[in-house]
Structure 1
Amino acid sequence: MTIEIAQMTKSFGRTEVLRGIDLTVADGELVALLGPSGSGKTTLLKIIAGLEWPDAGRLAVDGADWLKLDPQDRRIGFVFQNYALFPHMTVRDNIAFGLTVRPRGERPSRADIARRVDELLGFLQIDALGDRHPAQLSGGQRQRVALGRALAIEPTVLLLDEPFGALDAAVRRDLRQWLRSVHDATGTTTIFVTHDQEEAFELADRVVVLDGGRIVQSGDAAAIHDAPASPFVANFMGATIELPVAVRGGRVDAAGIETDHLPSALPDGPARLFMRPEDLTPIPDPDGPWTIASVTNTGAHLRLVLADAAGTKIPADLRRRSPRAAQIAPGVRVHLRPEHASVFPAETA
């Protein structure tokens, strides 16, 4: 199913939540909506599901106007962060629920429903849990049941709202890989909401970044990570170090920073340099303007705090076994070499 969204807006009172969203999701594509809280991702998901209605705009699925359809007629599979399972029902009954409540003329037979549930229990690798209740399951098992319930109705579109947000890190990693395999096996057009960039990049075919109700960048993991379209995207992708620089003749210029390998297409003038702590290498230099203020050994890395004469402090993350690590100690003066950085005009930053 191909989803087409055009010029969609939505406000709650005086708060604009969506400000002209244009988005197309191809048939069988897995798209992540990534952004901070309040960026509009969940509202957009709810509008696709029919749980909210936009103030203006278009929503079409395979050419059909979904804004004219009631939620139950869209046959959406929706997986919530908190699972939303029925506590009084067994796993088997939870998965079967969407089939058993269909209108009588569309409802499969009991035998067909049982067969579908058995297929999903096996597919989701929870065969042994069919007769248990949600309270008897772990968080990861509950999320599999929630996905099974969404898949049972053979949804036109699968929507997931922070599906792993309530789980611990190790379970989240396992379930991300598992969900990707489920998507590849079913081929269902899928949109999921997350604020976790690692989760978005690992799972999605394409990541759509939202900020303040607008799409600010769309692309694969490499494009967004390596070439952020704005200071907001750079910062959200972890480039939390921001320093003033100048652009002269297509080159970045800054005292105490090696910038020859950082060409810029910006016009000459003041600019801002955005870097990630792990992309910043301190080079020991007796004339360097930066001093190592502190060093914390985390095992695999040295976490540094660098300070200049003006009192500016920035972090750096150096591999403990790198050749330069032996030269690093509090009080050592350095200049900086960004291995990768993004440059934006000063006024946009």
Structure 2
Amino acid sequence: MALVIENLTRRFGATEVLRGIDLAVADRELVALLGPSGSGKTTLLKIIAGLDWPNAGSLTVADEDWLARRPQTRETGFVFQHYALFPHMRVRDNIAFGLTVQPRPRRPDAAAITARVNELLQFLQIETLADRYPAELSGGQRQRVALGRALATSPRILLLDEPFGALDAQVRRDLRRWLRHVHEASGTTTIFVTHDQEEAFELADRVVVMGAGRIEQIGRPDEIYDHPASPFVARFLGHTVELPVTLQAGRVQARGLDATALPRRALPDGPARLFLRASDITPVPAEDGRYRITDLASTGALLRVRLTESAGVEMDAEVPRRTATALAVGQAVHLRVQAGCVFVDPRSATAPPARPTVPADAPLSELKESLP
């Protein structure tokens, strides 16, 4: 096991930023910490790096207590969102910096440092930039240099804090593919922080969804996307439509709703809430339809359909524009659901608490078993 965190907590005054974090990361794994601002992602990353300290809990790497180590001896590489390159140093000197400031007994000689820098320049495909200053580079080029500096010391764990947050969308997409290639080629255990769902799902072997200082769910990207473990995760991952429904023998039922495509759920009968993405809703014209179309807006490939229910419920559905020619403003419709997730209504007296796939307070053995 590369890294194991147990019952980690961090408070700033009366504010609990991390609330009992348990996480196990395998050797050579790439893990994304995904969540909204304020969920504790960056604080957790800083504690791993030694830039912050927990109030309680443990952090071990290969069964060694890393909380007993000083930051400069933790063998981590850290890449910041805003690069943090030294403006007065050329690219090659920025990459070499971590090697040149190592304690004398561990510091490579000048020839070894030069060889390592040249190796990374070639590996990161920035050989032609070696003698430029940061001000002469694009954002994407600066981030490659920052990664090169983090990799120069051959860290056991690479930490990235919103590494593409300062870049435009196209550059971010290009660098995501490139970073995945770098990770596989270098074999470094990598943990990165992001609030971008697409970024996390494209890059990571496993995704850790965080909210309010807790781990809400851990799993492979497709597992989390298809099976959110809590209403929080469902909302964060784009289930923007919430409907009151009834569960009967594991089936979702509601007037004006065709939910036959949804699988049975092992949940008790009674009130529940159905969480849907707009793209998973198909309006079907019906004279006795419960919902009425109040607006249609084309985005090119898609038609965004605004729907209103007599009780005041409003929602959006998205359907392929070329297949939606029968829809019109003022039309009554039923809703056909293609996919969704359902949770017992917490206001129900018999409702059990929602549980994540791997709960934040699960025993360490259970967390380890969840690894691929």
Say yes or no: TM over 0.5. yes
The residue aligned with 1:284 is 285
The residue aligned with 1:45 is 45
The residue aligned with 1:193 is 193
Worse overlay, 154-163 or 312-321:
312-321
The residue aligned with 2:36 is 36
The residue aligned with 1:75 is 75
Residue 252 of structure 2 corresponds to residue 255 of structure 1: no
Residue 302 of structure 2 corresponds to residue 320 of structure 1: no
Distance 1:121 1:277 in 2: 45
Q: What is the TM-score when the length of structure 2 is the normalising length? A: 0.92
Report matched runs for 1:138-177 at 5 Å: 138-177=138-177
Q: What is the TM-score when the length of structure 1 is the normalising length? A: 0.98
Distance 1:50 1:6 in 2: 16
Aligned-residue offset at 1:212: 1.1
The residue aligned with 1:337 is 336
**Could you list the per-position Cα deviations for residues 25-82 of structure 1 after superposition, in whole angstroms to 9, with x for gaps in the alignment?**
0000000000111111111100000001100101000011000000001121000000
Distance 1:38 1:56 in 2: 19
- State the SS of the aligned residue for 2:325: helix
Task: Please list every run of 5 or more consecutive structure 1 residues that lacks an aligned counterpart in the other structure.
Answer: none
Aligned-residue offset at 1:331: 1.4
- State the SS of the aligned residue for 1:224: helix
Distance 1:312 1:211 in 2: 27
**Could you list the per-position Cα deviations for residues 213-243 of structure 1 after superposition, in whole angstroms to 9, with x for gaps in the alignment?**
1111000111101110000001111001001
Aligned-residue offset at 1:264: 2.3
The residue aligned with 2:131 is 131
Distance 2:247 2:196 in 1: 33
State whether residues 304 and 318 of structure 2, in contact with CA within 8 Å, keep that contact through their aligned partners in structure 1: yes
Distance 1:189 1:141 in 2: 23
**Could you list the per-position Cα deviations for residues 252-302 of structure 1 after superposition, in whole angstroms to 9, with x for gaps in the alignment?**
110100022322221111110000001111111111111111111111111
**Could you list the per-position Cα deviations for residues 125-182 of structure 1 after superposition, in whole angstroms to 9, with x for gaps in the alignment?**
1110011111110000000000000000100110000000000110000000000000
- State the SS of the aligned residue for 1:326: coil
**Runs of 4+ that moved beyond 3 A:** none
- State the SS of the aligned residue for 2:315: strand
Aligned-residue offset at 1:18: 0.7
Aligned-residue offset at 1:313: 1.0
Distance 1:218 1:35 in 2: 12
Distance 2:313 2:268 in 1: 27
Aligned-residue offset at 1:202: 0.2
Residue 305 of structure 2 corresponds to residue 304 of structure 1: yes
Distance 2:200 2:173 in 1: 12
AA aligned to 1:35 is: G
- State the SS of the aligned residue for 1:321: helix
Report matched runs for 1:191-230 at 5 Å: 191-230=191-230
Aligned-residue offset at 1:16: 0.3
Aligned-residue offset at 1:250: 1.9
Distance 1:303 1:329 in 2: 12
The residue aligned with 2:366 is none
| Paired-residue identity, % | 65
Distance 1:311 1:345 in 2: 22
Task: Please list every run of 5 or more consecutive structure 2 residues that lacks an aligned counterpart in the other structure.
Answer: 347-352, 355-372
- State the SS of the aligned residue for 2:125: coil
Report matched runs for 1:230-249 at 5 Å: 230-249=230-249
AA aligned to 1:152 is: A
RMSD value, Cα: 1.0
State whether residues 261 and 339 of structure 2, in contact with CA within 8 Å, keep that contact through their aligned partners in structure 1: no
Aligned positions, number:
347
Distance 1:203 1:25 in 2: 15
Distance 2:302 2:190 in 1: 37
- State the SS of the aligned residue for 2:257: coil
The residue aligned with 2:8 is 8
